[in-house]
Structure 1
């Protein structure tokens, strides 16, 4: 192996610190599901009411991300991450000692505001500080913290909650936040803030039709995936007779497949261009959903026979975000940090709409039609991205190398 190849293979410590940071925030968001019964019983609320802690976190993140990106645009990146991580640690530490649902709800909103400030900034740092030609790979690694939380963080938090009480789960979140804060402060290089400019001028690129189309495409991509993921339990029960134990193993294996898919999607964005890589991911996702729809004719289908399709679905789902984010950066130009914040909001909108629309399909037509509906939504997403690419090409002077390939 040449010296140059070894240098390319060595990952900087700050990149690993940012990956651990996104892992921490995602674990804190998703782990509520693992301790929901005990938490609800202790606080004297229904499980449906306890589940609103997740809704509050998601809604606060979606609303706060674009605002935080504008407000903190001129802050140094180290100061931004230090303040937000400090707020996150404080919110989780306080949550570990509260016995009030209302107080806990407020603390979850504070934790979400901290996440909304940090996660888009972490994506922007990863792409801006990456070596030429490796932006997609660096972005995929930071986004891999989200997938890793589902595979490792949520099971760990659930075990801690089961062994020591649900309050200990929030204590774990505070501890992870402290580790992330220390890692970021020690390793993150001194990065300059964005240059000062009027807010209207800073946000002007976000009003471009191609950027808005790209954001709608992100909503559609996440919506299509969440239509199936939200109701995977009834879908696999009806198709393969899978129960909770089998479903647990499917989630673990799908998490690992998602980690691999995200890394491959980032590399593809670097090598093929963001638009081509994203198109390949959407096409693979649609093909898997079509195959799962066809499986309804053959039901019951053994779960082992379905597993390759489920792993391909997970890999394709997580292949798409890195090139989609890289493409959004190219579309937004100097407003890339704000676009990434809006992109994060679009993801949470897609999550909410996917669960709602998937529930409507489930109630009206049955679980077997969920993959077919997801295919339709993903094709809409592909059309939106194609329209955005055409708008980008029309707005760029000929030969501009930053235009997305596609």
Structure 2
């Protein structure tokens, strides 16, 4: 996540030069109104959904999985960790190695790897084999996240790029707020292996959908590629990556342990409802960001960060009030839902045509690093200071985020 982005997480994505087609570059006539290619964008949103849900699905199936694999629940929980490791270890080198590939071919390859990995996970009775399959799924996620956002933006006219990206990224909150509970219910009713096989079936359908509905785009010529280290010198890229790392870390510390936090408040039985409130607010956030990101990237990033800070303050100071907890969940979702769209848009704009691939690959890597570190940091905080320390940690981390976004008014998060 993503995860995450946690991101954690996953988090997808490029905007390099390509051979234009008449439909994407010709100016509309007075009688033409540019429209979004919804079938293609919904296919990408489904790919985002599968990527996000594959990462987090084991969290709701740990007891059954651990019994079948003959290991402890804590060991089974590492199936989530190894997924994130696969993503952040391979996103940058694989993105660099595949920049010449046609985009649709690359997306089909990544999603086919998900189908294989989820099938092996569903059929495996070996812990080592399951961990290998989960690592492969993480590698596929790194590849997918490095191209999904950029592909979504390129499918739309310039003035609708934000909406296109928002539609594609809607798969994240849908996976977290609806997909994980649905997968957990399916696993409880029909067995955890059925939940993973259902993911495979959905992926197979998606492969055909992508082949029919998603237009192809050429990759980037070798001579036009920008080395990763050079991308960091592009004004604004470092600022966007810093914000990504710290903001996703702050979010993950609380989100990864939200069930524990609520249980300590006596609201453990309402975790699903709280997450539903969070997810609904996230969808609203995505809609708002999609409509305005083209013109208000900086303002929306600041607003989202402030909303998350207000939510954390409410959880820190008013946690004994159940209505305040629900209100905080709504504010948190409203602030967080559009963040993936905002950060990926910022990275693409800061990188420009030459460095967008590199910037997006680094964003995906840092997103998953932040999710992994957030999970560890949250565990340390829980042991040392209790779950009540989570909102305070979020507030502490959001201070430098606000400072960097505020200072990056020329590059990264420009005023215009």
Give the TM-score taking structure 1 as reference length. Answer: 0.88
Match of 1:294 among 311, 314, 317: 317
Say which of 48, 58, 67 aligns to 2:93: 67
Q: Secondary structure in 2 aligned to 1:118?
A: helix
Question: 1:260 — aligned with what?
Answer: 284
For residues 160 and 90 of structure 1, the distance between their equivalents in structure 2, rounded to whole angstroms, comes to: 20
Whole-angstrom CA distance in 2 between matches of 1:152 and 1:288: 22
Q: Distance in 2 between matches of 1:348 and 1:44?
A: 28
CA distance in 1, matches of 2:408, 2:223: 26
Q: Does 1:242 align with 2:252?
A: no
User: How is 1:363-382 mapped onto 2 (pairs within 5 angstroms)?
Assistant: 363-382=383-402
Following TM superposition, by how much is the alpha carbon of 1:201 offset from its aligned partner in structure 2, in angstroms?
Answer: 5.0
2:331 to 302, 312, 324: 312
Partners of 1:388 and 1:195 lie apart in 2 by: 31
1:398 aligned residue:
none
1:275 CA drift (Å): 1.7
Does the 8 A contact of 1:266 with 1:323 survive in 2?
Answer: no
Segments of structure 1 that go 5 or more residues without pairing to the other structure are 394-402
Picking from 347, 351, 360, the partner of 1:340 is 360
Would you say how many aligned residue pairs link Structure 1 and Structure 2?
387
- Residue 405 of structure 1 pairs with residue 415 of structure 2: yes
Higher helix share: 1
* Matched residue, 1:154: 180
List gaps (5 residues or longer) in structure 2: 1-28
Partners of 2:163 and 2:88 in 1: CA distance = 25
What is residue 200 of structure 2 aligned with on the other side? Answer: 174
Q: String of CA shifts for 1:13-67, please: whole Å, max 9, x gaps.
A: 1111100111111111111111110010111100000001100001111111112
Whole-angstrom distance in 2 between the partners of 1:5 and 1:136: 23
Cα deviation, residue 234, structure 1: 3.4
Alignment correspondent of 1:360: 380
* In 2, Cα distance between equivalents of 1:72 and 1:210: 25
Q: 1:81·1:118 contact (CA, 8 Å) conserved in 2?
A: yes
Per-residue deviation, 1:405: 2.0
> Cα RMSD (Å) of the superposition?
2.4
Aligned mates of 2:328, 2:227 — CA distance in 1 = 46
Task: Report the Cα offset of residue 209 of structure 1.
Answer: 6.2
Task: Tell me if the contact between 2:61 and 2:184 (Cα under 8 Å) persists in the aligned partners.
Answer: yes
Q: Relative contact order (C-alpha < 8 Å, sep 6+): which is higher?
A: 2
- Determine if contact 1:289/1:374 at 8 Å carries over to the other structure: yes
Find 1:328's aligned residue among 309, 332, 347: 347
Aligned mates of 1:158, 1:42 — CA distance in 2: 16
> Which residue, out of 274, 278, 295, partners 2:301?
278
Contact 1:211–1:328 (Cα < 8 Å) also in 2:
yes
